[in-house]
Amino acid sequence: MSTPVAGAAATNPAVVTGDHSGRQDVASTGADRTPFEVMLNLTQSATRGEKSTNDSQMIRVPARLLECHMTLPLGSSGGLYYVRVQRSVQSEVLKTAQGKATINGGDVWLDVELDLSNLSAGGYLLSYRHAAESWHRVPIVVTNLTK
């Protein structure tokens, strides 16, 4: 049995929604540039200075063009957010995106399109911030599903 890309339960930090066909996803071939939908629940992400030690809470996303629907932690503001992906805090920024967060029913939702199709499988940092605030970092694992 293969490890899923992301958890399916609402308590898990990431849920891959895809096309709901039950088929295993295959990385984008270039001809298929339709964004793959993922829901990232960042409400339980570590706060500044904390380190997550629970691998089951690790966010896993496929190496392809993603339409990310993120739920930000309680207390996050609405408005413009910047998102970036890099290997480590001090390494070069590999991907960037921006989007407008909205508040709905007490939840803060941020939608961004993020193209991870040319990233190698492995660990990365997904960082996000509101306007001139500090960066919030969440470890992610990019998976290559071409096997």
Q: What is the pLDDT of residues 29-83, one digit of tens each?
A: 554 578 999 999 998 764 444 454 445 567 999 999 999 999 999 989 999 999 9
Q: What is the pLDDT of residues 113-142, one digit of tens each?
A: 999 999 999 999 999 999 889 999 999 999
Cα distance between residue 118 and residue 39, in whole Å: 20
Q: For residue 104, give Cα distances in angstroms to 77, 108, 142.
A: 11, 6, 29
